[in-house]
């Protein structure tokens, strides 16, 4: 049994790992990947110390920092469930993955989020056949083509700015009256001749044959068909919080934490985008990961 298991290796999980190593805690990290959502970001312009860096470059910096320590990192493992075990020696937790169970005295859940689906006709059938949820991953496939980005927040703006450099035209379809997100990104999008912003528009259907060839939207009660070859769905994300049922969550299924990153279950901490902390930012997640380890360290000291 280890003292601590950290679930996730995005900004929160990796920072937690660095802090846990410096605290000499006996721990391991379990994660499906390295970097989480950060690896999908094209340009990061608001992480302190870097005026400009790509998401993949920042993840490489995180990983390089983590490797300065002797850390047990189990990548490509998906956590299925966390359960509480009460024994004579005290309470501890079992973390189950497809490759086997692990046990720890405390856990930090830093499992992040996953893209939200549109849930419209045609979406599922054309997934990976013109419908994508990652412009960073799939953008180059649509070189010189007409594409749509669906959404109106930072993720949609980021995807649009990426596709301006790749596609022949970008439709930005926003269900709200105006674009949200960072003003600097918004200005870049709205000033580009490559982009047609369509506000107050609801996506109704995705169509095509073997691959996507069109999208149907509704604006002010009027339906419109747009011919295109690619669609990027950027309407936010949902937390990866289903692995644990004994902690309290809000109406959005985010894990509720206090200012010490404690959940409702003693010994379980949470950090980053999986929690109810309102700002889903890389730098915020990193700070929350550090706080979570400091809280877990205090908890472990109380057991001793």
CATH code where residue 204 lies: 3.50.50.60
- The sign of the CA dihedral 186, 12, 252, 136 is positive
Of the residues 206, 233, 260, the one at which a domain ends? 233
Would you call 134 a catalytic residue per the annotation?
A: yes
CB atoms within 10 A of CB 179: 21
- Do 100 and 147 lie in a common domain? no
Of the residues 203, 233, 263, the one at which a domain ends? 233
Catalytic residue among 33, 43, 134, 276: 134
- Do 91 and 185 lie in a common domain? no
Catalytic residue among 137, 187, 245, 258: 137
Query: Does the pLDDT of residue 134 top 90, yes or no?
Result: no
Of the residues 199, 215, 233, the one at which a domain ends? 233
Domain count, the chain: 2
- Do 107 and 256 lie in a common domain? yes
CA atoms of 225 and 228, how far apart (whole Å): 10
- Do 179 and 247 lie in a common domain? no
Q: Which of 113, 102, 55 is nearest to 235 (CA)?
A: 113
- Do 242 and 105 lie in a common domain? yes
- Do 193 and 140 lie in a common domain? yes
Distances (CA, A) of 33 to 74, 171, 255: 9, 31, 21
- Do 212 and 261 lie in a common domain? no
Distances (CA, A) of 58 to 10, 55, 63, 227: 11, 5, 9, 36
What is the pLDDT at residue 101? 96
- Do 68 and 140 lie in a common domain? no
Which H or E run includes 259? none
- Do 89 and 174 lie in a common domain? no
Mean pLDDT estimate for the chain: 94
Q: Which two tokens stand for residue 263?
A: 């959940």
Catalytic residue among 33, 43, 138, 276: 138
pTM of the predicted model as reported, rounded to 2 decimal places: 0.82
Query: Does the pLDDT of residue 288 top 90, yes or no?
Result: yes
- Do 46 and 132 lie in a common domain? no
**pLDDT > 90 in the chain, percent:** 84
- Do 59 and 79 lie in a common domain? yes
Q: Which two tokens stand for residue 118?
A: 């549109």
CA 102 from chain centre, in angstroms, equals 24
- Do 73 and 22 lie in a common domain? yes
What is the pLDDT at residue 77? 94
Q: What are φ and ψ of residue 108, in 5° steps?
A: -115, 120
90 band by pLDDT with thresholds 50, 70 and 90: confident
Q: What residues make up the domain containing 40?
A: 2-114+237-303
CA atoms of 119 and 126, how far apart (whole Å): 12
């Amino acid at each position: 049994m280890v003292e601590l298991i950290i679930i996730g290796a995005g900004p929160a999980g990796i920072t937690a790992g660095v802090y846990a190593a410096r605290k000499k805690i006996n721990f391991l990290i379990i994660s499906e990947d390295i970097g989480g959502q950060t690896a999908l970001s094209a340009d990061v312009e608001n992480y302190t110390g870097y005026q400009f860096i790509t998401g993949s470059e920042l993840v490489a910096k995180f990983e390089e920092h983590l490797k300065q320590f002797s850390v047990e990192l189990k990548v490509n493992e998906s956590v299925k469930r966390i359960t509480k075990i009460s024994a004579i020696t005290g309470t501890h937790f079992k973390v189950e993955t497809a490759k086997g169970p692990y046990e720890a005295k405390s856990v930090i859940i830093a499992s992040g989020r996953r893209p939200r689906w549109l849930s419209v006709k045609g979406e599922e059938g054309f997934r990976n056949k013109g419908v994508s949820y990652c412009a960073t991953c799939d953008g180059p496939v649509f070189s010189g083509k007409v594409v749509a980005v669906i959404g109106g927040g930072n993720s949609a703006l980021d995807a649009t700015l990426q596709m301006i450099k790749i596609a022949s035209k970008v439709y930005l379809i926003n269900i709200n009256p105006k674009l949200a997100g960072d003003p600097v990104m918004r200005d870049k999008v709205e000033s580009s001749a490559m982009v047609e912003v369509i506000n107050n528009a609801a996506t109704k259907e995705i169509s095509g044959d073997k691959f996507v060839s069109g999208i149907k939207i509704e604006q002010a009660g009027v339906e419109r068909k747009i011919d295109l070859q690619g669609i990027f769905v950027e309407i936010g994300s949902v937390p990866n919080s289903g692995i644990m049922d004994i902690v309290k969550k809000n109406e959005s299924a985010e894990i509720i934490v206090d200012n010490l990153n404690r959940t409702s279950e003693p010994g379980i901490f949470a950090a980053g985008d999986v929690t109810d902390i309102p700002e889903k930012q890389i730098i915020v997640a990193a700070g929350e990961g550090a706080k979570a380890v400091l809280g877990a360290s205090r908890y472990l000291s109380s057991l001793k």
